[in-house]
Amino acid sequence: MNFRRIEWIFLIAFVVLDVFLGFMFVQTSSKSTTTSGDTATTVIREMRADNISFSDPKTSESTGYYIAGSNDNDLKQRISQLTEQTARIESSGKLTSTLRTVQTITANKAKSELTTFMKQSTNVIHGDEYVYDADLSSKSEYVFVQKVADGDILTSAGQVHLTVNKSNQLISYTQTYVDNVKTLREKAVTISERKALVALYQYNQVSNSSRIMWAKLGYSRLLKLKDSSVYVPTWIFAVRSKNSSNVTIHRINAFTGAAMKSDTTATTTTAGVTGLGTAAGMLWRAE
């Protein structure tokens, strides 16, 4: 039995175990819908009483998959298809490129113009597999996230960051890519933003008088093996502490409600306070 096969057996076994734990979590938490709802309401009130500010969380559930992807992307093999730019692959697998001829971007048409740029295969490898994320972008950095089964990758694994200078010129970009993406089991229901927020508070990841700047549902890496990684739907929260310019990223497994390791911190800028510009850098490094 070769190592590759052993690795996949281990990966599948891990997913089965995680699914079982998730099932037990759902069974336990759904024994009494009324009680669960009352508990969530009580926790939300406690958070308000602790001067934690946040928008009313959504109560609707969503769906997602366990997915697997290769740790070795094919950016290096396809780098020769890029033209009019100087590109290189870093040791981490990230592609870094500087355009030889800058492209002026119209401020009020940035999304459409950059999307057109992305879809040209001589500009960006697999560029048509990414979508623009306004929440993660700022005026100087436009972020495109990789589309996968029923969602987007919101970690450093599958993103393109396009850099635009003060003259509205696209001058460079960086890219990561998850290759050979596969679903490992049938689609399953995720917990709501409200339940995830309650879990975040119960795990003591939100201090008094802090502000939850935003919440997003996307895929985060759950397990990394030698050749492959498993990704799981995740509720991602950006929290800013009182009297601080630091924003910390926290993650809640959207299947099990468990806290995931994610203590990435960054200093906000004006863009980060009013939108999610700073989050792009944090999510880029949060692995």
Instruction: Give yes or no: residues 78 and 27 share one domain.
Output: no
pLDDT score recorded for residue 267: 47
The tokens of 200 are what? 């975040």
* Two structure tokens written together for 114: 């950059």
Residues 144 and 200 in one domain: no
Examine the domain organization and report whether 154 and 209 are in the same domain.
no
Task: Give me the number of domains the chain comprises.
Answer: 2
Q: Among 180, 199, 225, identify where a domain stops.
A: 180
- Same-domain pairing of 79 and 119: yes
118 and 172 housed in the same domain: yes
Q: What is the CATH number of the domain that holds 254?
A: 2.40.128.690
Q: Give which of 216, 121, 227, 220 is closest to 175, Cα–Cα.
A: 121
pLDDT score at 275? 41
Residues 26, 88 share a domain = no
CATH number of residue 80's parent domain: 3.30.310.160
Residue 157 CB contacts under 8 Å (≥ 6 apart), including other chains? 69, 146, 176, 178, 221, 229, 231, 287
- Pairing outcome for strands 259-260 and 265-267: unpaired
CB 105 within 8 A of CB 117: no
- For the whole prediction, is pTM greater than 0.85? no
* Residue closest to 161 by CA, chosen among 148, 146, 149: 146
Domain that holds residue 34: 3-68+182-285
Tens-digit pLDDT profile for residues 94-130: 999 999 999 999 989 999 999 999 999 999 999 999 9
Q: What is the predicted pLDDT for the residue at 262? A: 61
Q: Examine the fold and report which residue of 158, 180, 202 is the final residue of a domain before the chain moves on.
A: 180
Q: How many CB atoms lie within 10 A of CB 131?
A: 13
Low-confidence ranges of the chain (pLDDT < 70): 1-37, 262-287
In terms of Cα–Cα distance, which of 101, 79, 77 is closest to 88?
79
Query: Coil, helix or strand for 282?
Result: helix
Query: What spatial distance separates the first Cα and last Cα of the chain, rounded to whole Å?
Result: 31
Q: Are 80 and 173 in a shared domain?
A: yes
* pLDDT at site 197: 97
**Shared-domain flag, residues 170 and 187:** no
121, 151, 180: which is the final residue of a domain?
Answer: 180
Q: How far apart are CA 259 and CA 109, in angstroms?
A: 39
Co-location of 207 and 272 in the same domain: yes
Output the DSSP codes for 79-120: GGG--SEEEEE-TTS-EEEEEEEEEE--GGGHHHHHHHHHH-
pLDDT of residue 277: 47
What pLDDT is stored for residue 257 in this prediction?
A: 95
What pLDDT is recorded for position 264? 52
The candidate with the shortest Cα–Cα distance to 64, out of 190, 148, 157, 193, is 190
